[in-house]
Structure 1
Amino acid sequence: MTVEKAVKDRGVIMDCNLSFKDQINQVVRTTGYHLRNISLLKKYLDGNTMKILVHNHVISKLDYCNLCYYELPNYLLKKLQLVMNRAARLIKDLAPHERIAPVLIDLHGLPIKECMIYKTVLTHQPLQFGKPRYIRNLLQDLHLDTPVAIRHNAEQHRLFEPRVNLKKGFRTFEKITP
């Protein structure tokens, strides 16, 4: 029996250290290919079609399973952010030296780190309404064994934080949700 250093499951490459270097490099390579091809077609496309193509072929790949990248080193996340910046520059037809922050704001795009945080905030929907059920089943309410009534509203929806011993355990969905 051989042990694989990295395996692909549901489109995500996971290595034995959960560093996701291979996954991020693959996403950067694939999105770079699509950005090059779209840039060649740029003169034939209007702005709306350009946005649709970039979103379908680039942004969707950056967003797919990006919670796996939570708490990864900045040098890996920067690669993804550079792809997003490149996509925004392509949509707005900007030069490489122009500032990207106003463009991202105009396109309603969040930086990579903020996208991951935003997805964790989306746990509000399953907590309040119970849907989707598969996410609600991952979230465990914190039940304090105390006779004292909890009065503060913020304490009503506290979640149980599972104990983790490894650094990789701090990146699990149950741990990073608020």
Structure 2
Amino acid sequence: MSMTDHVKATIKSVNFHLRNVYRIRRFITIDSCYHLVRTLILSRLDYAHSLMFGTSSKDRKKLQQLQNRAARIVFRTDRYHPSAPLLDRLHWLPVEKRVVYKVLLLTFKCLNGLGPSYLTNTLAYYSPVRSNLRSENKQLLQIPRTRRTYGDNAFRAAAPRLWNAIPTSMRKCNSVCAFK
């Protein structure tokens, strides 16, 4: 199972909209272009982000190139201009980090009763066998064993691994806004 077909469809759709935005870019302000790109392009790149976890680096690279191109269109720079400073100015995370962020946000929502029940049921808090361990109060999640590489990319295995890697202060947040 791969997301290659989804990535190809996304690339096709985003390229169509990027060409249209590029054609009208000189007639609109940076602010208008930013909102237009956020609405038309980033919404398509963000669609099904949690499913993109663990996809091939080739697919992620293609999506990153689209995001870089969108940032260059917003600021009207040439294609050889480095995109990292542009992404920073726009406050956009790179594609790979956006995927991790979306998985962690969905995990937070599931643990606080805001996520779908079918995902909430796959998560369980880690309870150590012995008492009085430091890991007892860290709100860690139990990582299930998987047999295949694809199983490691499933939400039930990936979410606990990512959740356990973030600082304890983030795991103990009370609201979605504080977690973001």
* TM-score past 0.5 threshold: yes
Shift >4 Å, 4+ stretches: none
Match of 1:160 among 142, 149, 165: 142
1:62–1:80 contact (8 Å) kept in structure 2: yes
Does residue 77 of structure 1 match 2:60?
yes
Kindly provide the amino acid, as one letter, of the partner of residue 71 in structure 2: A
1:176 aligns with 2:158: yes
Displacement after TM superposition at 1:126 (Å): 3.9
Query: Counterpart of 1:140?
Result: 124
Output the CA distance in 2 between the equivalents of 1:153 and 1:93.
50
Offset of residue 133 of structure 1:
5.1
1:3 alignment partner in structure 2: none
2:33 — aligned with what? 50
Distance between the aligned counterparts of 2:56 and 2:90, measured in 1? Answer: 26
CA distance in structure 1 between the partners assigned to 2:8 and 2:52 by the alignment? 12
| Structure 2: gaps (5+ residues) | 164-180
Task: Give, as a single letter, the amino acid of the residue that structure 1 aligns with 2:139.
Answer: H
Matched residue count: 158
Q: Distance in 2 between matches of 1:112 and 1:38?
A: 21
Q: Percent identity?
A: 26
In structure 1, the gaps of 5 or more residues are: 1-17
How far apart, in 2, do the equivalents of 1:96 and 1:150 lie?
57
Q: 1:76, CA displacement in angstroms?
A: 1.4
Do the aligned partners of 1:150 and 1:156 also contact (CA within 8 Å) in 2? no
Distance 2:76 2:134 in 1: 50
TM-score (ref. length: structure 1): 0.80
CA drift at 1:53? 1.3
- Deviation by residue 1:1-44 (Cα, 9 ceiling, x = unmatched): xxxxxxxxxxxxxxxxx111111111011100000011111122
Describe the shift of the 1:33–1:22 C-alpha distance in structure 2 as closer, same or farther (beyond 3 A): same
Structure 2 SS opposite 1:138: coil
* Distance in 2 separating the partners of 1:150 and 1:172: 32
> Partners of 2:22 and 2:97 in 1: how far apart?
27
Q: Does 1:31 align with 2:10?
A: no
- The answer to which structure has the higher strand fraction is 1
TM-score by length of 2: 0.79
Per-residue CA deviations over 1:105-141 (Å, capped at 9, x if unaligned) read 11011111111111233223543x3323535333212
- Cα distance in 1, alignment partners of residues 139 and 94 from structure 2: 28
- Pair 1:49–1:154, CA change in 2 (3 A): farther
Contact residue 81 and residue 112 of structure 1 kept, 8 A: yes
Between the aligned partners of 2:136 and 2:68, the Cα distance in structure 1 is 37
Q: CA RMSD in A?
A: 1.9
The structure carrying a bigger helix percent of its residues is 2
